[in-house]
Structure 1
C-alpha cells in the first residue's frame, strides 16, 4: 500500500458513498484510484498538473474532486472515516492537542512599515 493511499479497511468503510457504475457509456474512472489521487494532491500540496499518471489524467481527477466537494461526498467521507477511527479507538476523543506556538516577525514583514516617516528630500523643498 502506498503511503498516501487508503487501506482496504478504510475503503470498505466509504465505498458505498460513491455512485454505482452505469451499464452503458464510457467506463468511469475507478473511484478508489481517483480518491487516492485526491489524497496524494492534498497530502503533497503539488499542483494538479503534477499528479502521477498512475492516478489517471489530472483534469479527470480534479473534475471528480470538484464534483465530490460540491455535492458533499468529501464531507461524508471525512465524517465516516473520523467516526470509524474514534469507534476503533485509534483517536482518543477526550484528548485533543492544539499547537499554541507563535512565530514573531518584524512589523515590516506584515506590511506595517518601519518606524518614522520617510520623506523624499526633493518633494519637501
Structure 2
C-alpha cells in the first residue's frame, strides 16, 4: 500500500474509510467480474465500494497509478507494441452515441468488441494503453501511443505496423524499429530476429490481463470506467 498511496486523493474533512480494505474489495470485484453487492462483507458496504470506484475512476486515480509506477522499475531499452480484442457483453452494447467518444465498441466478424492497444517494456510489463472501437486500424493506436515511446528499440508484429511513415516516426524519436517487412515489399527489410522473438512477452501480458473477468469481458458502457478496470488490473499484476 505504500507504493500506490501517493496517487490516492487527499481526504478532506472526515477521515476516509480504510483505503486498503476498500481497494482490496475493488480488486476482488474486478478480478471476478462481480456486482458490488456480491462482494464479501469483509470488504465493507457495497455502497462504499461503488462510490469509491466511481469517484476514483472519474478522477483518473487508477490511470495515474498505472502510468506513474513504471517510472521506478520499467526497462525501456526495448519497447513492444501490439493490440488485442476485448469482447463486449450485451449490457455494454448500446451503440447510441452521446457526448464524447461514444461507447468505443464496434462490430467485427467476432461480434461486438473493443480494441486495446498497448506499449510494454522489455519484460512485457505495460507502460501505456489506448482504447478504440473494434474495427479500427492498428495504426490509430500506434499514432496515439507514439508519445509514450522512448529511445531504444521497438518490436512490433509485421502485418500491422510495417509502414514507412511509422518507421520514420520511430527513427525521428531515436528508436530503432525491429519490424519485419511485408511479403509485398520489393526490397526486404532487415531486423534483429533474436530481439523479435521477445515479442511474445506482450502477448503473455494480454493473456494475464484477460485472466481478470472484467477485462476479458467488457460489462461497462462507459469507456472511462472500463479503462479504469484495465489500468487497475495492469497495476496489480505488473507493478505492485
1:32 aligns with 2:20: yes
Contact 1:86-1:92 at 8 Å conserved across structures: no
Normalising to structure 2: TM-score of the pair?
Answer: 0.31
Pick from 36, 53, 63: which aligns with 2:51?
63
Q: Looking at secondary structure, tell me which structure has more helix per residue.
A: 1
Return structure 1 stretches of 4+ with deviation > 6 angstroms. none
Contact 1:13-1:80 at 8 Å conserved across structures: no
Residue 2 of structure 2 aligns to a residue whose secondary structure is helix
Pick from 34, 46, 52: which aligns with 2:34?
46
> What is the CA distance between 1:78 and its match in structure 2?
2.0
1:92 aligns with 2:124: yes
> What is the CA distance between 1:90 and its match in structure 2?
9.1
Per the alignment, do residues 46 and 16 of structure 1 end up closer, same or farther by CA in structure 2, a change over 3 Å counting?
same
**Structure 1 residues 69-92: Cα deviation after superposition (integer angstroms, max 9, x where no partner):** 1011011122234555635x8933
- Give me the whole-angstrom Cα distance separating, in 2, the residues matched to 1:12 and 1:52: 24
Per the alignment, do residues 64 and 90 of structure 1 end up closer, same or farther by CA in structure 2, a change over 3 Å counting?
farther
Normalising to structure 1: TM-score of the pair?
Answer: 0.56
User: Higher relative CO (CA 8 A, sep ≥ 6), structure 1 or 2?
Assistant: 2
Partner of 2:3: 13
Per the alignment, do residues 78 and 64 of structure 1 end up closer, same or farther by CA in structure 2, a change over 3 Å counting?
same
Residue 76 of structure 1 aligns to a residue whose secondary structure is helix
Unaligned stretches of 5+ residues in structure 1? 1-10, 100-125
Unaligned stretches of 5+ residues in structure 2? 76-120, 126-197, 208-240
Q: Tell which structure's C-alpha radius of gyration is larger.
A: 1
1:74 aligns with 2:62: yes
Per the alignment, do residues 50 and 80 of structure 1 end up closer, same or farther by CA in structure 2, a change over 3 Å counting?
same
Partner of 2:193: none
Number of aligned residue pairs: give it. Answer: 86
Query: Considering only aligned residues, what root-mean-square deviation do their CA atoms show, in Å?
Result: 2.7
